[in-house]
């Protein structure tokens, strides 16, 4: 997956005429894996402190680091190399070199409002299935409806794309052209609701008497929410990117 991540990051960054290619490749290789590994390593310290058999041995942690630096990071750089070699994605219109001022926005087009509202529908598409997944992980219940899980996953992808496109369209209608990061956050904010739901689930369905157990639960759910944020945010951005490219290609403004 490192090769795919490096390739996609390079192609996207080149399309937006980014100049700091080395920094981008470095962030691609270390940002998400680094944060995830850091949280996991931090939680493992507490498991070691409890002398639990569930603690990951130091040798296994070292093996993970070796695979990260020895396999994943080189694959990211390899994918970035091929991505930078490709021809830049063409845009249908020319971009004005002088940024146009954005007019005052109504309250319902404010970034915070649109981002928080945008995450409701993607979360609503998965929250029922999320209950059964959490029950299978934390309450040791059987989970066997993987076909239905695939359907829910496809619905999630479609919902993220649709809500990001709709919010992006409203934003462009309000003459606000800073759509790229907002499109990522609009669908990615569903991860916030996922994390809040996991806290509610812990408070209502689980019995935890030790602080370490609560910390481990919240830590692992934070990793889950972070991964969910990256997934849904990427879907929203890609959908908005091709939507904007398509509508401006149809207008054909020089």
The per-residue pLDDT for 212 is 83
The number of folded domains in the chain is 2
194 pLDDT higher than 90: yes
Q: Of 61, 90, 119, which marks where a domain is finished?
A: 90
Burial of 90 (0-12, 13-18, 19+ CB in 10 A): exposed
191 pLDDT higher than 80: yes
Q: Of 48, 64, 90, which marks where a domain is finished?
A: 90
Same domain membership, residue 116 and residue 51: no
Mean pLDDT, the chain, integer: 88
User: For residue 253, what pLDDT band results from cuts at 50, 70 and 90?
Assistant: low
Question: Is residue 98 domain-resident?
Answer: no
90 pLDDT higher than 90: no
Phi/psi at 95 (5° precision): -90, 130
Same domain membership, residue 63 and residue 142: no
Containing structural domain, residue 167: 108-254
Same domain membership, residue 168 and residue 119: yes
252 pLDDT higher than 60: no
Question: Is residue 128 domain-resident?
Answer: yes
Question: Is residue 97 domain-resident?
Answer: no
Q: Rounded to an integer, what distance in angstroms lies between the CA atom of residue 231 and that of residue 248?
A: 26
pLDDT cut 70: percent of the chain above it? 98
The per-residue pLDDT for 121 is 93
Burial of 138 (0-12, 13-18, 19+ CB in 10 A): middle
Question: Is residue 143 domain-resident?
Answer: yes
Region of residue 140 (phi > 0: left; psi between -120 and 50: alpha; otherwise: beta): left
Q: Express each pLDDT in 217-234 by its tens digit.
A: 999 999 999 999 999 999
3-state secondary structure of 253: coil
Same domain membership, residue 112 and residue 65: no
Q: Which residues contact 238 (CB under 8 A, 6 or more apart)?
A: 161
Q: Express each pLDDT in 113-141 by its tens digit.
A: 889 999 999 999 999 999 999 999 888 88
The per-residue pLDDT for 193 is 96
**DSSP H or E stretch at residue 200:** helix 190-205
The per-residue pLDDT for 142 is 83
Question: Is residue 22 domain-resident?
Answer: yes
In terms of pLDDT, which residue wins out, 189 or 254? 189
The per-residue pLDDT for 60 is 87
This prediction's pTM:
0.90
Query: Looking at residue 17, what DSSP letter applies?
Result: T
Give the mean pLDDT of 58-64. 88
In whole angstroms, what separates CA 220 from the centre of its chain?
Answer: 16
254 pLDDT higher than 70: no
Same domain membership, residue 226 and residue 167: yes
Q: Express each pLDDT in 140-179 by its tens digit.
A: 888 888 888 999 999 999 999 999 999 999 988 888 888 8
Give the mean pLDDT of 109-115. 87
Give the mean pLDDT of 22-49. 89
Same domain membership, residue 155 and residue 57: no
Question: Is residue 155 domain-resident?
Answer: yes
70 pLDDT higher than 60: yes
DSSP 100-135: PPPPPPPGGGSHHHHHHHHTHHHHHHHHHHHHHHHH
In terms of pLDDT, which residue wins out, 77 or 17? 77
The per-residue pLDDT for 46 is 83
Q: Of 35, 64, 90, which marks where a domain is finished?
A: 90
């Amino acid at each position: 997956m490192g090769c795919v991540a490096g390739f996609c990051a390079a192609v996207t960054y080149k399309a937006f005429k980014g100049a700091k290619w080395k920094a981008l490749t470095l962030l691609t290789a270390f940002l998400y894996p680094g944060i995830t590994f850091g949280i996991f390593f931090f939680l493992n310290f507490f498991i070691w402190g409890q002398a639990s058999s569930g603690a990951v041995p130091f040798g296994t942690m070292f093996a993970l680091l070796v695979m990260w630096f020895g396999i994943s990071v080189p694959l990211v750089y390899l994918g970035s190399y091929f991505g930078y070699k490709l021809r830049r994605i063409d845009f249908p219109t020319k971009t004005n070199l002088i940024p146009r001022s954005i007019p005052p926005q109504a309250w319902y087009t404010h970034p915070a409002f649109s981002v928080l509202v945008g995450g409701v529908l993607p979360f609503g598409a998965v929250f029922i299935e999320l209950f059964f997944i959490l029950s299978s992980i934390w309450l040791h219940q059987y989970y066997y409806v993987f076909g239905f899980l695939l359907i829910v996953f496809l619905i999630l992808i479609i919902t993220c794309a649709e809500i990001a496109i709709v919010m992006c369209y409203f934003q462009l209608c309000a003459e606000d052209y800073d759509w790229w990061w907002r499109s990522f956050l609009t669908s990615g904010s569903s991860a916030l609701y996922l994390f809040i739901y996991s806290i509610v689930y812990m408070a209502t369905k689980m019995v935890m008497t030790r602080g370490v157990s609560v910390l481990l639960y919240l830590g692992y759910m934070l990793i889950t929410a972070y991964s969910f944020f990256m997934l849904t945010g990427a879907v929203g951005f890609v959908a908005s990117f091709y939507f904007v490219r398509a509508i401006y290609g149809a207008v054909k403004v020089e």
